[in-house]
Amino acid sequence: MKTHGGDIFGVAAELGVKPEECLDFSANLNPLGVPKSVRDAMKESLDQVIYYPDPDCRELIHDLSGHYGVPEGYLLAGNGAADLIFRLVYGIRPSNALIPAPTFLEYEEALKQTKTRIIRLPLDENLEVPENLPEFISEEIDLVFLCNPNNPTGILTGRDLMIMAAKKAVETGTILVIDECFLDFTGREEEFTMVPYLKEFPNMVILKSFTKMFSIPGIRLGYALCSDPDLINRIRAAGQSWSVNTAAAAAGRAALKEVEFVRSSAAFIKEEREFLTGELKKLGIRVFPGQANYLFIQVKSCPGLYDKLLRYGIMIRRCLNYDGLDETYYRTAVRNREENKGLIKALKSIIEGEEKNAAKTETTERK
């Protein structure tokens, strides 16, 4: 089973169709697509491809510095957030790391590369990061990964708990990594982001990405924020010199100006998330109260749902390879109304078909 969703080319080849004929709910991308200004910036950057990219991404870092109101030395750009996760782990080479369970699989994949001992902290009965998180951060723990909102659940962790964890990490000399790559979709970034606390907690690294909000997974662009210059340099040194290509850097600079696009996207996602949640519940599907641009669901009554949806050309994300989850758990992106209706229509057809088959079987057994 693949680690991630979004393998639209592989699925299309398997089904014998074109990628555009598939409806991909497995990748959590903005259904509003790529803003025109971002597309134009990438096109205009093509005149610069005759040169090597700027290894320090000076212009993008300058713009990010102004956007967040932090020194340029706090910032490092990378080939997507995943690139920075691996570079961080390679740069630190932790002996022991703490991660919630379940959470984004890339943390564990990176930690395996350095043979790090992984300690899993199970989420509570509401699939939230437990309030006693700070108790698990000790001098033996070199690194902690926290995803906010969490992936695959979409559930937010309150800032108060994050601050307590950051304080404990300072006391124990632990590096705390907070992944905020989906936070802009919640419409509550100012309320939950830990960026204002960068100077207070120099052992804290915040990860962010352009990929999801601006729907540019094929370009790859993310960045890290940290107030410790030594830690930033260790992450930088663990990767190649030209990790961000020219088109990606141009896309990022244009994207930072799209403030209204981000605001309207979050509002759009909220409306569609509520619609999709209501329709899924009508079908008897358990929906967890996530706040991101995806929904975490449980479907017990329909074994093999992923394969059954593929017959309709629809991809969702199987979650059985997340720690603590089984084949009844799935993650589905929130897309536009027409596409969301298409998913609901297919699910209704599949579930009703299962119920009819079950009724026939019961009748036959009685005879």
β-strands 317-318, 314-315 pairing: unpaired
How many other CB atoms are there within 10 angstroms of residue 297's CB atom? 25
Residue with tokens 């141009």: 250
Other C-beta atoms closer than 10 Å to the C-beta of 263 total 12
Q: What topology does CATH give the domain 8-28+260-366?
A: Aspartate Aminotransferase, domain 1 (3.90.1150)
Which two structure tokens, joined as six digits, stand for 362? Answer: 């019961």
Burial per residue of 39-67, b for 16 or more beta-carbon CB atoms within 10 angstroms, e otherwise: eebbeebeeeeeeebbeebeebbebbbee
∠ CA 119-120-125 to the nearest 5 degrees?
A: 155
Q: Are 238 and 282 in contact (CB under 8 A)?
A: no
Q: Which among 153, 207, 151 has a CA at the least distance from the CA of 181? A: 207
Q: Does residue 332 contact residue 41 with C-beta atoms inside 8 Å? A: no
Cβ-contact 312, 348 below 8 angstroms = no
pLDDT tens for the chain, 367 residues long, are 455 565 666 666 666 666 666 799 999 999 999 999 999 999 999 999 999 999 999 999 999 999 999 999 999 999 999 999 999 999 999 999 999 999 999 999 999 999 999 999 999 999 999 999 999 999 999 999 999 999 999 999 999 999 999 999 999 999 999 999 999 999 999 999 999 999 999 999 999 999 999 999 999 999 999 999 999 999 999 998 999 999 999 999 999 999 999 999 999 999 999 999 999 999 999 999 999 999 999 999 899 999 999 999 999 999 999 999 999 999 999 999 999 999 999 999 999 876 565 555 554 554 5
CA nearest to 253, candidates 17, 54, 19, 8? 54
Q: What is the CA radius of gyration of the chain?
A: 21
| Dist CA 156 CA 198 (whole Å) | 19
CB atoms within 10 A of CB 314: 23
| Token pair listed for 7 | 């393998």
Residue 356 has a pLDDT of 62
Amino acid at 108: E
- Taking the domains of the chain in order of start, what are their residue ranges? 8-28+260-366, 36-255
Q: In this structure, what are the phi and psi dihedrals at residue 293, rounded to the nearest 5 degrees? A: -90, 30
Query: Could you give the CA distance from residue 68 to residue 62 in angstroms, rounded to a whole number?
Result: 10
CATH number of 36-255: 3.40.640.10
Are 345 and 281 in contact by the 8 Å Cβ rule? The answer is no
pLDDT at 167: 98
Residue 150 CB neighbours (<10 A)? 25
Residue 273 DSSP SS3: helix
Question: What is the CB neighbour count within 10 angstroms for residue 255?
Answer: 23
Greatest alpha-carbon pair distance for the chain in Å reads 77
